[in-house]
A and B are shown apart, each in its own frame.
Chain A
């Protein structure tokens, strides 16, 4: 299969940022980064859902032990999904610069907040939404400073 690297001129690091290359759509680093962000957010939401399960009565009964076990497995599963997202991220940054991809990962704050709103019916005031947006902009801005090569 023709990969992204195959279609790139040798040594052209800037060329790895070209959008709309002939490479298969799902191979594009932007897509890999987006999958990574989605996995990260979904992983956190699974962890939160599992913690909500364990918020019930934590007595000594067999029922609550079953609940605890479910919560524990859920937390491990959520963390695993989160870790899997990191693997997609590693593949993405192997193909394009981190500073180009990081603004995509800054979107995780918005994804997680939307998950909290729609899955857990969290009450998010306008001030909190604004703060989340400001953090997203700040993280994206921070990442593009890498373009200057301050290492």
Chain B
């Protein structure tokens, strides 16, 4: 199996987990206080599945290739934070994301 499949799946799930945790941990959870446990539960499930996918990806892949690719999580979390959480992303932060993206692509191209 192409390791990029479980790797990208894990990155997506982990990013969803982080956003869920942000929703669940906020003072006024999205969808009312009753939904707090829903978001925390979603975080736990996504986090566990992401860890499992990481183990699957790592099994037949060099760790010096797979581990840096997890940096893609910074890109996705930042985009989700902007779109879903309406966070303001400074120019310097966008620059950092561009740098990380370049690094992830460089590692990805050198399997």
Contacts and interface: CB of A to CB of B under 8 A. Distances in A.
Given A128-B110, A131-B106, A132-B64, A142 B97 contact: yes
Q: How many A residues touch the partner, as a band? A: 35 or more
B58 A135 contact: no
A47 B55 CA distance: 8
A66 B60 CA distance: 20
Contacts of A122: 62-65
A135 to B, nearest CB: 3
A55 B107 CA distance: 24
Nearest to B57: A51
Nearest to A49: B63
B102 to A, nearest CB: 6
A52 to B, nearest CB: 8
Given A134-B106, A141-B95, 12 more contacts: A51-B59, A116-B63, A120-B63, A128-B64, A131-B105, A135-B68, A135-B104, A138-B96, A139-B74, A141-B99, A150-B88, A150-B90
Interface of B: 51, 55, 58-60, 62-65, 67-68, 71, 74, 87-90, 92-93, 95-110
Interface of A: 44-45, 47-48, 51, 54-55, 75, 79, 109, 112-113, 115-117, 120, 122-125, 127-128, 130-139, 141-142, 145, 148, 150
